[in-house]
Chain A
């Protein structure tokens, strides 16, 4: 009983907010170009769905590519940093600094370098996603119980097998929690990249409708972005559930 009510709480809360919002827009007669009501947004969403879906496809592709590249880079760099403490000491602070540079400044520079294609958007996603994945994976690797490593070494495993058998699998849960954060950011990262300069994608759509003061469309697009971000997060959770049965609660 308690569990169901706990699960329903957020839904009730959001529903309450939406009702409040709808009521405020109707009672105070707030015009559409200032704040659309939830019902208006929902109507627009249904109407615009084919167009939004078209743009969403582009954004999702960029986000997935960005996450995939981040993952590969983070895996490689994580193992390198773990193998060679020198690299870790040199690189880790640089990684932290990259996160302090505002993305909105970097995205236009990427366009100057790489043109208006998908590449600068993917790079924006990579820059946003790489950090949480790399840091969580590298921390995961460094926290592996040394006894496990001793055990497989005493069984005759070399460096490479030690990584494959113990270190990487043991760091996977940490990697996944970083990946969950990264996947959730990835859609927003792609949208920022598109916002700066593109002919397609949700960011491009968002910029156009905002310039036209079509706030119902802006909100509809935001709803789609939220939905997609949650889906990306869900995808990682699904992988965790299916791929790592040992993490499920036992009996």
Chain B
């Protein structure tokens, strides 16, 4: 059984149809990317999963059970770090505990993670005094501390410069194993999708449908490996442009 299963999901903003008949599944512990050009409705998929929006049609299943509205299975991380400027980093990352009345307990747990997330010594700082990469790591820690088993990352590094983004991707790759959570990443960055994910689902422009999927082989992932993936890039680009046939491929 799939951890997450989505079938026939459709959504429109008023007259404008954004998603049409989206179906896919994600296995337990898998890292899946939704890749597509800006404005194709990738983020809308995540908003439907978190329950911020509700679909016109279609079903969302987690562990075989249908989800409607807000669900504690999902932890959502938006593109902007959305740290509260009036809260310290420690209190920011403990947002979930604050909402669910387990603040003290979560503070203890969060403190243990600060060194791993490269935030040691910044527990009592305010977000404005942190660099973009650190803020993003704090936002990621906040997401990871949710009791959710599926992380939904919406272009988490989109607002960072190229160098910091690269560092954060390496770091996320390393963190993945430690957290052991199922991840759905939304991105428009082909390299990011290839580098981070097990499987890439390609969406093209609205109303978005899935234009096939691509499995990425499990190898020693590093930057050199990434730059050797020319064929994969061409394949993905072809599918985004809609020139290639629909279907699945493993490269």
A interface residue numbers (CB < 8 A to B): 145, 147-148, 150-157, 161, 165-166, 169-170, 172, 244-246, 250-251
Q: Which residue of A lies closest to B76 (CB)?
A: A154
For the complex, is B17 an interface residue (Cβ under 8 Å from A)? Answer: no
CB 8 Å contact bits of B64-88 with A (1 = contact, 0 = none)? 0000001010111010101011100
For the complex, is B50 an interface residue (Cβ under 8 Å from A)? Answer: yes
B99 touches A150 (CB 8 A): no
B52 touches A154 (CB 8 A): yes
Q: How far is the CA of A166 from the CA of B51 in the complex (A)?
A: 19
Q: How far is the CA of A169 from the CA of B84 in the complex (A)?
A: 9
Q: How far is the CA of A177 from the CA of B242 in the complex (A)?
A: 53
Instruction: Tell me the chain B residues, 119-145 only, with Cβ under 8 Å from chain A.
Output: 126-129
Q: How far is the CA of A145 from the CA of B47 in the complex (A)?
A: 16
Q: Which residue of B lies closest to A158 (CB)?
A: B99
Question: A-B pairs with the 4 shortest C-beta distances?
Answer: A154-B50, A246-B126, A154-B76, A157-B99
Q: How far is the CA of A157 from the CA of B72 in the complex (A)?
A: 11
Known: A246-B126, A250-B128. A165 touches B99 (CB 8 A): yes
Known: A147-B80, A154-B52. A251 touches B96 (CB 8 A): no
B78 touches A155 (CB 8 A): no
B86 touches A151 (CB 8 A): no
Q: How far is the CA of A153 from the CA of B96 in the complex (A)?
A: 11
For A152, A156, A157, the residue with the greatest tally of chain B CB atoms inside 10 Å of its CB is A156
For the complex, is B243 an interface residue (Cβ under 8 Å from A)? Answer: no
Q: How far is the CA of A237 from the CA of B51 in the complex (A)?
A: 41
Which chain A residues border B100 with CB–CB below 8 Å?
Answer: 156
Q: How far is the CA of A209 from the CA of B212 in the complex (A)?
A: 88
Distance of A148 from chain B, by nearest CB (Å)? 6
A–B complex contacts, Cβ < 8 Å, 11 sampled: A145-B82, A147-B80, A154-B51, A154-B52, A155-B95, A155-B96, A156-B96, A244-B86, A246-B86, A246-B126, A246-B127
B52 touches A150 (CB 8 A): yes
Distance of A140 from chain B, by nearest CB (Å)? 13
Distance of A167 from chain B, by nearest CB (Å)? 11
Distance of A210 from chain B, by nearest CB (Å)? 47
Which chain A residues border B109 with CB–CB below 8 Å?
Answer: none
Partner among A148, A152, A170, A246 whose Cβ is within 8 Å of the Cβ of B99: A152
**Chain B contact residue count (CB 8 A cutoff):** 25
For the complex, is B146 an interface residue (Cβ under 8 Å from A)? Answer: yes
Partner among A153, A165, A251 whose Cβ is within 8 Å of the Cβ of B52: A153
A172 touches B128 (CB 8 A): no
B84 touches A147 (CB 8 A): no
Q: How far is the CA of A30 from the CA of B98 in the complex (A)?
A: 68
Which chain B residues border A148 with CB–CB below 8 Å?
Answer: 82, 84
Partner among A156, A157, A250 whose Cβ is within 8 Å of the Cβ of B126: A250
Q: How far is the CA of A244 from the CA of B86 in the complex (A)?
A: 7
Partner among B98, B129, B146 whose Cβ is within 8 Å of the Cβ of A250: B129
Task: Taking A153-B70, A154-B76, A156-B96 as given, write out 16 further A-B residue pairs in contact, using a Cβ cutoff of 8 Å, ordered by the A residue number.
Answer: A147-B78, A147-B80, A150-B47, A151-B76, A151-B82, A152-B95, A155-B146, A156-B72, A165-B95, A166-B84, A246-B85, A246-B126, A246-B128, A250-B126, A250-B128, A251-B129
Instruction: Tell me the chain B residues, 95-119 only, with Cβ under 8 Å from chain A.
Output: 95-96, 98-100
Which chain A residues border B86 with CB–CB below 8 Å?
Answer: 169-170, 172, 244, 246
Partner among B47, B74, B99 whose Cβ is within 8 Å of the Cβ of A161: B99
Q: Which residue of A lies closest to B127 (CB)?
A: A246
Q: Which residue of B lies closest to A146 (CB)?
A: B52
Distance of B226 from chain A, by nearest CB (Å)? 30
Which chain B residues border A172 with CB–CB below 8 Å?
Answer: 86
Distance of A249 from chain B, by nearest CB (Å)? 9
Which chain B residues border A169 with CB–CB below 8 Å?
Answer: 84, 86
Which chain A residues border B84 with CB–CB below 8 Å?
Answer: 148, 165-166, 169-170
For B47, B99, B100, B129, the residue with the greatest tally of chain A CB atoms inside 10 Å of its CB is B99
Q: Which residue of B lies closest to A245 (CB)?
A: B126
Q: Which residue of A lies closest to B96 (CB)?
A: A155
Q: How far is the CA of A250 from the CA of B76 in the complex (A)?
A: 29
Q: Which residue of A lies closest to B78 (CB)?
A: A147
B98 touches A165 (CB 8 A): yes
Which chain A residues border B50 with CB–CB below 8 Å?
Answer: 150, 154
Q: Which residue of A lies closest to B152 (CB)?
A: A154
Q: How far is the CA of A156 from the CA of B147 in the complex (A)?
A: 11
Q: Which residue of B lies closest to A151 (CB)?
A: B82
B99 touches A155 (CB 8 A): yes
Q: How far is the CA of A8 from the CA of B186 in the complex (A)?
A: 55
B96 touches A150 (CB 8 A): no
Which chain A residues border B96 with CB–CB below 8 Å?
Answer: 155-156
